[in-house]
Structure 1
């Protein structure tokens, strides 16, 4: 911890990093927000759409072990600025040159590198600038802001694409938002001097992290959580669009609007779940949330025959159940980590979590194709049920202590 970690500095850092996180995330879910349009325009299969949706998290997975572990040796602010720059370049490149599967895949993978340089390095920057009993609450605010950024991504992308001239304008705005985050962090986030380790160690030696059973329980739990979370978020708009198209005359908010509301509901659920984790047993709170969302996933995909408004309401409830354990899992991993290897622990946490986040949307699309395609109610049901089968393994991981 630096001598800059005072209460006033902590509050300023939390506000700055939460705002920057929302800005850098405008482009993260822009592709899933417009997924039906891209499938139609580019003639994508569901599996190809799953690849493009998930490759963001593949890029993240490749980059995060390096970028987050570096925060144990340098101020995380420097890593964050690099990540924000990459995010801006990736969104701008998509805007100017994306024209089909391969070009979209490349730019979305680079977008994942930008996310790797901002999300968890931002958490490390916050931890380095805060201390005391309020720190767990501040961590939950930051991790919950991921859902606020998700809602902003769906809302801004959907509205801009519809009102201002299509998806290229939307992605251009995402590039501008990431550039604004870079300026905000550069100017408003105070710098800190990382504490040098007591003895020289290899910062990329993850062995001690993997041997920390308490931390790894939360890390593995987070992995199955993110598999479900990104699988559901990546396909939510497409599922709701299918339900709406199958019900001529049905009325209700657009699928993109529902996805925006779902992310806001998820943010509130994450903060509430983090508070429950402080007041009650953290592992039991997380396990109960996982079993609840698994049960919901087993049935929600089969609900397509219900009225559109009912399906939309169920999707909001499902989003809340998915997110209850999100901040609680990340906070648990941070608190269980060796302070000298906190950056490395966060790196492993993100590596496994967002690696699962890459596989989740892809596996969903593969199940959808294999079981009959996007016009089959049973295929949607089985695809969502596959998410529930994975997250149901979470309580087993949380038994590690």
Structure 2
């Protein structure tokens, strides 16, 4: 994960060093997630028949290669694009297949909590990535950051390859790698969670991609001569820890009040916060930091809940295929979102214009409202069961 999220952590530096437009910056931030969306369906449906551990290890090695290539060969938009795309394919073979590694090995009474812990650990990895990028780059340069990311990915491969092998319970009616996908699309309840998750991913990865740039703009708008404490990359690091706690807490809330009800309220509150955060650069820096952390928490409150919901309503033997659709559409939106956000910034006045930032966040708020609408129209049935619903 470090190689994927080190780039957004250093986005303002790359914009300046490589002379990128906001749209180009959005492409480089988002292409990894678009590549994830392309790679996820065949990789995840394969986990219904072969041990996901094998896919994870291969993906970790691809991620290591992409980070090493970015460190030593990337010099501008075109070369950076290639290695960012490769990083997304590596992520596709590790994130959700990693979840399948977990659910194939843990089928206890609280599997939903295990799923929530795993998905929320994504935020911990994001926080570590922002911290590593900020600290290592300050000392040794951005190339060293991506070299360290390559070593971390190789280490993950070593850890997972040592896990015991399992044979997944495959669906007998799945003769080809993608044959299970039509049944997933026919599952109205699962697709409701998939669409809500897609809106969530759009919001989340726009924010993760542009947070440091937004905070950097806020510092400039306040006319501060020096970068105040905490620095933007430090705020992004803390936001990752906030996100992990929010994801776990949100799942616990959903267990008590119901997934649909929890998600609807959370996404509505997130939309309101998106409209508000666009005006915070004109206020004090502590207010900007506090608003950023609140926005992070609201975005992440429903993350684990949406994934656990999709797993819970999936047909037996179709969990891998359901997770494939869940990840492909969700991360497809994650790839598009940062690009659209950058385009809106360019069209509305540029990244140095406060009103342009507000317009971009207002557009983001509208996307977030798709989630409650999808769950209302899809009417997924709650199946809170002892085996992980």
Q: TM-score range by the shorter chain?
A: over 0.9
For 1:36 and 1:236, the matched residues in 2 are separated by: 10
- Tell me what 1:331 maps to: 308
CA contact (8 A) 1:61 1:354 kept: yes
Paired residues of 1:34 and 1:158 also in contact (CA < 8 A): yes
Q: Give the equivalent residue in structure 2 for 1:118.
A: 94
| Aligned counterpart for 2:27 among listed residues 13, 31, 51 | 51
Tell me the CA shift for residue 201 of structure 1.
3.5
Partner of 2:66: 90
Q: 1:19 aligns to what?
A: none
CA drift of 1:92 comes to 0.5
1:303-318 to structure 2, matched below 5 A, reads: 303-318=280-295
Aligned to 2:112: 136
Q: Corresponding residue for 2:330?
A: 353
TM-score, normalised by the number of residues in structure 2 = 0.95
Quote the offset at 1:382 in angstroms: 0.9
Pairing of 1:194-343 with structure 2 (within 5 A): 194-199=168-173, 201-205=175-179, 206-247=181-222, 248-249=224-225, 251-343=228-320
Once the 2 structures are TM-superposed, how far is the Cα of residue 51 of structure 1 from its aligned partner?
A: 0.4
Structure 2, unpaired ranges of 5+: 381-389
2:171/2:318 contact within 8 Å kept: no
Give the Cα–Cα distance (whole angstroms) in 2 for the partners of residues 200 and 299 of structure 1. Answer: 48
Q: Distance in 1 between matches of 2:170 and 2:206?
A: 39
- Aligned-residue Cα RMSD (Å) equals 1.1
Equivalences for 1:91-106 in 2 at 5 Å? 91-106=67-82
Give per-residue Cα distances to partners, 1:198-248, cap 9 Å, x unaligned: 445434121110011111111110000000000011000001011112322
1:157 is aligned to 133
SS of equivalent to 2:317:
helix
SS of the equivalent of 1:192 reads coil
Provide structure 1 residue ranges, at least 5 long, that are not aligned to the other structure.
1-24
Show the counterpart of 2:387. none
Aligned counterparts of 1:166 and 1:296: Cα–Cα separation in 2: 35
Match of 2:385 in 1: none
- Cα distance in 1 for residues equivalent to 2:302 and 2:153: 28
**Mapped partners of 1:28, 1:339: distance in 2:** 33
Q: Distance in 2 between the 1:286 and 1:28 partners? A: 27
Change (3 A) 1:111 1:315: same
TM-score under structure 1 length normalisation: 0.92
**Separation of aligned partners in 2, 1:233 and 1:47:** 16
Q: Which residue pairs with 2:164 in the alignment?
A: 190
- Residue 373 of structure 1 aligns to a residue whose secondary structure is coil
Supply the distance in 1 between the matched residues of 2:189 and 2:23 (Cα, whole angstroms): 36
Query: In structure 1, what is the Cα distance between the partners aligned to 2:182 and 2:230?
Result: 49
> Match for residue 5 of structure 1?
none
Deviating 4+ runs (over 3 angstroms): 196-203
Cα deviation for residue 110 of structure 1 reads: 0.4
Cα offset for 1:387? 1.0
Q: Distance in 1 between matches of 2:174 and 2:305?
A: 32
- Tell me if structure 2 keeps the 8 A contact 1:53–1:234: yes
SS of the residue corresponding to residue 29 of structure 1 reads helix
Per the alignment, do residues 199 and 392 of structure 1 end up closer, same or farther by CA in structure 2, a change over 3 Å counting?
closer
Secondary structure at the aligned position of 1:253 is classed as: coil
- 8 Å contact kept, 2:48–2:168: yes
Corresponding residue number in structure 2 for 1:391: 368
> Separation in 2 of the partners of 1:132 and 1:171?
38
Partner Cα distance (2:205, 2:17) in 1: 23
1:70 aligns with 2:46: yes
2:386 is matched with which residue? Answer: none
Counterpart of 1:172 in 2: which secondary structure?
A: helix
- Structure 1, residues 225-284: CA drift from partner, whole Å, max 9, x if none? 000000011000001011112322573300000011111101100000011111221111
8 Å CA contact 2:42, 2:177 repeated in 1: no
Q: Is the 8 A contact 1:148 1:267 kept in 2?
A: yes
Counterpart of 1:20 in structure 2 is none
